[in-house]
Structures are given as C-alpha cells and as structure tokens.
Structure 1
Amino acid sequence: MPTARQAFTRESADTRRAALVEATAICLAEEGLAGTNVRAICAKAGVSPGLLRHYFGGIDDLVAATYKATSDRMDAIFADAVDGAGSDPRARLTAYLTASFRPPVTDPELLGAWTAFWALARSDARMAAIHAESYAGYRARLGELLVASGAADAERLAIMLTAMVDGLWLELSLDATSFGAEAAVQMIERAVVALV
C-alpha cells in the first residue's frame, strides 16, 4: 500500500516577510537588542536562517522593516480610534490622543520593542529616519485634529501633547499601578480643555 505524501505548501513571500517582522518584534520585546539575533528571530518565525537573508539584506534591514511595520500598525490603531469617535472634532482629537492608553498600544510587549527602536534611532541613520517620519506623521495628524478643534498654534500644541502622551505612555508601560490608564486619559482630557 503506497504511503500518502503530505502536500507541500509554499507560503507567499509576503507571508514569510510578515512572519520574520513579527518574530523580530517579539524578540526585541522579550530579549531586547542584545538577545535579538538571526537564530532567535528565525526560530520564532519557524524558518531557516538562510531565509532571513533571502527576504532581507540582513538583520539590520529586518529590524528597520520591523520598526516601520510597527509604526504603521500604530498609525492604523490611532486612525481607527478617530474614525470610531464620530464627527465631533473634540471627540476625534481626544480619541486620537487617548488611544495610547488602551489595548493594543498598552501591550507590555510593545514597550520592549519601542525602547529598542528608540535606542537604535540614536545611532543608526536609517532608524533615525524612520523615527523622524513616524513622529512627524503623528504630529501632522494631531495638528490637523487640533486645527479642526479650533486650536491656535496647532504645530506647537502637537509637539507638546505628543510629548505628554509619550511620557504618560512610557510611565504607564513601566508601572501600570503608578496611576492607571483612566487617570492618563483624564490628564490628557484636562490638557486638551486647558489648551484648546
């Protein structure tokens, strides 16, 4: 009796790239930069180390792609929050700012990945460019929401509110018991009332 052969399925290039990006984000979150290497990433992705070089020029290219993909994912989360807030300009502004204090942005794993990206942005020109583009985009969208809410000097307010959100998010991520997500939301809401 002939044995049945299992059908071989080849995953698409996009699926493999996405798996490597996701595995890199997990490695950065769990192990930091020091523990993120080709073997660890490929083990998490369930692929051979040779595939990393096939899809990316090397680990530096993969980490940069992971930063870009993570930034894009955050942009989509913030856009969804705004879309879900209805048509009131102030509600849309508040939704954009406070999305940072709700899942999935508050996922503890995200802190490890972001701190690795931020560390690399200080010493790697490509990572610095991704950081600059990401933050400029966030502030530009925030500026548009501020203008729609009737704010004067939206550009400076966007910088200030971005720094406030980042600081609260970082503290909340480091110690969720320090003040809590709802307290962070209330602080941002009070800031918006006072500034806009």
Structure 2
Amino acid sequence: MTDQPPVKPRKERKENADKRRQQLLDATWRSIAENGLSRTTLATVAAQAGLSQGVAVFYFKSKAGLLAEALLDHYARYQQNWQDALAGAGDDPADRLIALIRADFDPVICNPESLSFWFAYWGEQKFTPKYAEILVQFDTARIGAMREACAALMTGATGEDVNRAAEWIDTFSDGYWQHLHVAPEQYSAARCMDETLRMAARLVPELAARITQR
C-alpha cells in the first residue's frame, strides 16, 4: 500500500488559495496598464502572475469575472487609503477635508499604473453595467465623507451649496488625475494636490487659514 501525500489543513489551503487569488488580481492591473482593458485576457494575467492559465480559469472562470473582481479589489484599496487618512486626521473637519484631498494624490493610489487602470474602467462603465455599479458604490461612500466635512465647515450654507462644493472638489481632483495620466511630463502629483487644496479653500473659505499653515 503506497503512502498518500499529507493533506494540508483547511486553514493552510485557504491561505494558499487567497494568496493565489490576490496574485492574479495584482497581475490584472499590471496587465491592464501594459495592454489595456480589451487586450487583457486570462492568458495575459496568468503570464503576469507567473501562473498557468488554468489556475486563472479555476479562480475566476471568465475574463469578465476577473475584470470585475479586479475593479472591486482596486476600489477596496482606494477606499481603505482614504479611510485610513480620515482616521489619522481626527475629528476636526478641516483636517478631514485636507486628508481626503491629500489621499487622492498619495503615491500608493496616484501612480502611472494605477491611473491607467482607473481610466481603462471609467471609459467602459457606459457599456458594462457591472463596472458602473461598482464605481457608484465606492464613489458614493467617498463623496459622502467629502460632503460631511464640507457641511461641518460651511456653517449656515444650504445643502445644495455643500453638495456643490464637495462635488466640485471631487471633480477638480479627477481632472488632475486625467492630466497626470495623459501628460505626466507636465504635471506632478504634488503640484496637483496643492492646486486642489487651493481651489478647495476658495470654495470653503473656512479651510483657507488651515491650508496656509501647512
């Protein structure tokens, strides 16, 4: 009777599976940065991850499933980044608003590969409802935090004015992301962050004194 190979404990098997799955998700955004969304396939992702295509199929079944999960994973990292920034900022609404803006230009989030990833998906959300659902889900949480900070600072302002200020700040930040993606030789994340903070101070005057102190 031949000896059977030892069976790995359930916890170890799950840890290995989670590691492989994350390996493939990380490889997906690298593939998108190099090949674009349309030319990213299970094969290009598997090659980036150093795994077989069969492994990619096992975990994600299809390209559509992989791309949706990759967007969820990337957005979860983005959300964790700005939530960590808020936690570090404390309760002062000015500090919280500044932290939200700064988080958008954190090198962990705002880098060439990540920007390629974002814009690839943003261009497809009109045609892929699943992407749009994910984008709305995560963007709603962040703009909510932005509105909350603006409302606390803009005492006496109408709800419409608070919403407008939060959305303009968010849109300004998105615009600089586009500049950094399309013309990185002309812009730096540091400059874009400073300009966004300056614009925010014009919209929310209560922020101006705090920004000039930094």
State the TM bucket, normalised to the shorter chain: 0.7 to 0.9
Q: Which has the larger radius of gyration?
A: 2
Counterpart of 2:69 in structure 1 is: 65
Rounded to whole Å, the distance in 2 between the matches of 1:85 and 1:176 is 29
List gaps (5 residues or longer) in structure 1.
1-7
- Is 1:172–2:180 an aligned residue pair? yes
Query: Would you say the 8 A contact 2:31–2:44 is kept in 1?
Result: yes
**Alignment equivalent of 1:54, drawn from 51, 58, 70:** 58
Query: Would you say the 8 A contact 1:98–1:188 is kept in 2?
Result: no
**Alignment equivalent of 1:116, drawn from 117, 120, 123:** 120
Say which SS state the counterpart of residue 84 (structure 1) adopts. helix
Counterpart of 1:15 in structure 2 is: 19
Deviation at 1:157, TM superposition (A): 2.0
Rounded to whole Å, the distance in 2 between the matches of 1:173 and 1:101 is 12
Counterpart of 1:90 in structure 2 is: 94
Rounded to whole Å, the distance in 2 between the matches of 1:95 and 1:42 is 37
RMSD of aligned Cα (Å) = 2.2
Counterpart of 1:43 in structure 2 is: 47
Give the partner amino acid of 1:21: L
Give the partner amino acid of 2:18: D
Q: TM-score, normalised by structure 2?
A: 0.80
Deviation at 1:133, TM superposition (A): 1.2
- Is 1:29–2:33 an aligned residue pair? yes
Give the number of equivalent residue pairs. Answer: 190
Distance 1:15 1:165, change over 3 A: same
**Alignment equivalent of 1:130, drawn from 130, 134, 138:** 134
Rounded to whole Å, the distance in 2 between the matches of 1:190 and 1:30 is 34
CA deviation string 1:67-97 (max 9, x = no partner): 1111110111112222233443212101101
Rounded to whole Å, the distance in 2 between the matches of 1:115 and 1:166 is 10
**Alignment equivalent of 1:186, drawn from 183, 194, 200:** 194
